[in-house]
C-alpha cells in the first residue's frame, strides 16, 4: 500500500486486497470474497480494481482508495481516468460521508496532485446537470462549464480546469 497524498482527514492510497468487499459495497455489490481471484477477476468490483491497478502501472495515476483517517475505513475513491485525449477527475463516496466536505477535500488534493506531480495541463469532470452535489464540488474546485454532451440516454455537463501554469 502506498499513500499517494493525504489531507487533514483523509488518506488517498493505492488499492489493496482487503478493499475488495468495501469497494463492492461502494458500487452496490455485496457478498464478495475476501480475496482476489487467482487467475482472472470474478466480479465487477474485482475487475474495476484490476483496471485501476493496470492504469496505475501504465500511467502512474488512476483512481485511488480514499480512507477516513479517524476510522481507517474505505469511504470512497477519487482519481483520474483517460477520456480520449483528456484526463477526467471523478469520485464516488459512501452516502454517510457526503455533505461533510470530505469529497471536496479529496478532490482538491487529487486535482493538485494532477497538476503538480503529473503535469496535467487540464482536468475535466462530467456530471448530470441536475446533480447539485457534484456540480457544487466541481464549481468549488474552480472548474468551468464547457458544454453538454450526450451519453447513452442522458445529457451530461462537461467541466474543465486548467493548470495555473498553462493558464498564464
- Helix, strand, coil distribution of the chain in percent, nearest 5: 35, 35, 35
Reported as a single tens digit per residue, the pLDDT across 109-162 is 999 999 999 999 999 999 999 999 999 999 999 999 999 998 888 999 999 999
Reported as a single tens digit per residue, the pLDDT across 18-38 is 888 888 888 875 654 454 445
CA dihedral 117, 92, 141, 158 (to 10 degrees): 100
CATH number for the 3-167 domain, one of 3.30.70.600, 3.40.630.30, 3.10.450.50, 1.10.10.10?
3.40.630.30
pTM of the model: 0.88
Q: Where are the domains of the chain?
A: 3-167
What is the per-residue DSSP string for 123-151? Answer: EEEEE-TT-HHHHHHHHHTT-EEEEEEEE
Amino acid at each position: 500500500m502506498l499513500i499517494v497524498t493525504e489531507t487533514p482527514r483523509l488518506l488517498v492510497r493505492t488499492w489493496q486486497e482487503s478493499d475488495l468487499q468495501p469497494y463492492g459495497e461502494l458500487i452496490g455489490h455485496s457478498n464478495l470474497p475476501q480475496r482476489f481471484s487467482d487467475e482472472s477477476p470474478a466480479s465487477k468490483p474485482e475487475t474495476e480494481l484490476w483496471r485501476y491497478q493496470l492504469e496505475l502501472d501504465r500511467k502512474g495515476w488512476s483512481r485511488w482508495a480514499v480512507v477516513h483517517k479517524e476510522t481507517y475505513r474505505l469511504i470512497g475513491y477519487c482519481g483520474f481516468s483517460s477520456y480520449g485525449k483528456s484526463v477526467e477527475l471523478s469520485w464516488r463516496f459512501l452516502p454517510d460521508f457526503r455533505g461533510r466536505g470530505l469529497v471536496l477535500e479529496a478532490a482538491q488534493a487529487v486535482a493538485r496532485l494532477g497538476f503538480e506531480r503529473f503535469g496535467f495541463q487540464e482536468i475535466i469532470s462530467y456530471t448530470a446537470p441536475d446533480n447539485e452535489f457534484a456540480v457544487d464540488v466541481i464549481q468549488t474546485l474552480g472548474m468551468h462549464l464547457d458544454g453538454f454532451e450526450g451519453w447513452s440516454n442522458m445529457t451530461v455537463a462537461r467541466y474543465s480546469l486548467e493548470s495555473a501554469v498553462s493558464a498564464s
